[in-house]
Amino acid sequence: MTLPTILVFDSGLGGLTVLRETVKARPDAHFVYVADDAFFPYGGHSEAALIERTVPLMGKLIEEHRPDLIVIACNTASTLVLAELRAQYTVPFVGTVPAIKPACAASLTKRVSVLGTQATVSREYTRALIRQFANGSEVTLVGSARLASLAEAELNGDTVTDAAITAEIVPCFVETGGARTDTVVLACTHYPLLLDRLTRLSPWPVTFVDPAPAIARRVLDLLGPATGRPQPLPSAFRLTSGRAPSERLSGALAQFGLGELRKAGNSPRIDTPELSA
């Protein structure tokens, strides 16, 4: 049996949290991780610009890597571009959406916050999920302008202060009618990179809901369970800018399932028309 190639795609490094769970589910697969750092952050671009950027870029990646399945490990890209990708390409895609349904179902206080990029929380798609799945919960939408970039900076070895993180998460903690927020949906795959610090800096204990395990389960639904092969194939890590990963990032990649790397830090820049113009 031919082992599958799974391509995990994100605007930056947040998708590594999804990759980690997917590797646990299919440790026998060949994984390709692509971070579109040349266009990061996606939340700063219009829907039209993201489609113009992402659709041809995905075509190049499919042609080069021949994946059996692609995980779009980015809430913004999933809500804005996924339908167009599925219309253009026959490869199965697994998207990432805010885990509002399980969060509202699990909340005991019925006070839930959704922490995402400004683009994600402003989308009608997100609001529709709340209308459909709030289950009687009061849901607070919190759009963070900086948290994804702070997560990237920390993973690359830069100093990120507690104050900077606290300023981004404080609006999630709401107390109304004598009930406090008890559940926070992490609606950006970058945010679990900071989970230890989010937990420590929270003004009171909450459950942070990470979408990565659900994504990994969906990959298993589509590809089936692991074959039992004892050693995974070498992995590939690519930055679309072509730059080499920082020393700190290179050392951290193994923690996310990218153990034996091929071409790490040596990939050419991946140009699409708007970048090469």
| Angle of the 162-169 helix axis to the 147-155 helix axis, nearest 10 | 150
Output the CA angle 98-102-76, nearest 5 degrees: 5
Q: How far is the C-alpha of 192 from the C-alpha of 186, rounded, in Å?
A: 7
Tokens of 12: 């930056």
Closest by CA position to 104, among listed 61, 133, 75: 133
Closest by CA position to 256, among listed 14, 6, 93, 77: 14
Burial label, 171 (beta-carbon count in 10 A; 0-12, 13-18, 19+): middle
β pairing state of 111-117 and 183-187:
parallel
Q: How far is the C-alpha of 184 from the C-alpha of 107, rounded, in Å?
A: 9
- Going from the C-alpha of 31 to that of each of 51, 77, 179, 241, the distances in angstroms are 24, 20, 44, 20
Residues noted as catalytic = 74, 188
- Going from the C-alpha of 94 to that of each of 56, 86, 98, the distances in angstroms are 18, 10, 13
